[in-house]
Amino acid sequence: MGYCLAPVVLIGGLLWSKQPSVIFQQVMGVNLSAGGYAEEVNQGKWLLAESERIGRPINLYSLGNFDVGAVEMVDWVQSIEKRASPQKFMVKRPLNWIDTPGLRAEELVHSDFLLLEDVRAQGTTEVSPISSWHDEVERFKQFAYLERGVDKNGLELISGGQVKLLRVADACKFREAFVRWANAIQWTNDFRDRNKALLEKPAK
């Protein structure tokens, strides 16, 4: 009887809560946070319009979990609504279940836009070596967002909020800044081997 009543009690508690827990909603398979991703949906719609403007699918590099997924799903929804029309977002991630997890520089520097979720505040001293792909992703998000600027790392902030949408406004500057950033870090994982082709390529 307890197993039968527990879901009912939990859902009832979620219904009465002013801010229902997202984790409990996911466990129960319900969505009581309608409108909670309005900003992300608007970002997705803006990206769709940008794809239409330039006349081709756009390359997105997505760094996050739930909120970046809301942006990406706008493209899936439109594709379904328009009877399987071609998708407008070509999405790359550091974890794709095929390759070894981690950042791939070639995919990053050939992106049109970056989606960044949960960018942490930068510490006063960033001298610790990076030993895991999780650490490299977090450190890259700090580099991309906190050091942004077309004249600095080639990235332009389009919109903020929980998900930061950045345009690769100057691909050459972005590549150069990425290489400088990577070379300033002590890597104890396979980052350098994974990105050897770009890091050792002579600058043009």
pLDDT tens string 125-182: 556 899 999 999 999 999 999 999 999 999 999 999 899 999 999 999 999 999 999 9
**Cα 50 to Cα 31: distance, rounded to the nearest angstrom:** 29
Q: Tell me, what's the pLDDT at 190?
A: 94
- Cβ-contact 166, 148 below 8 angstroms: yes
The CA-atom distances, in angstroms, between 76 and each of 40, 71, 83 are 14, 10, 11
What is the model's pLDDT at position 79? 85
Helix 133-146 vs helix 171-183: angle between axes, to the nearest 10 degrees? 130
- CA–CA separation, 175 and 109 (whole Å): 6
In angstroms, how far is CA 199 from the centroid of its own chain? 22
Q: Is 92 buried (19+), middle (13-18) or exposed (0-12) by CB count in 10 A? A: middle
Low-confidence residues of the chain: pLDDT under 70 = 8, 10-19, 28-36, 123-127, 202-204
pLDDT of residue 85: 79
Among candidates 173, 169, 176, which has minimal Cα distance to 201?
176
Scanning the structure block, which residue is given the tokens 């050091």?
147
Only one residue has tokens 């999405």, namely 91
Secondary structure element (H or E) that encloses residue 198, with its range: helix 196-199
Task: Report the pLDDT value the prediction gives residue 52, as an integer from 0 to 100.
Answer: 94
pLDDT at 15: 60
Q: Please report where in the chains the tokens 């050792």 appear, as a residue.
A: 200
Q: For residue 83, what pLDDT is reported? A: 78
Dist. CA 109–CA 204, nearest whole Å: 14
Residue 84 half-sphere exposure, CB side, CA atoms within 13 Å? 0
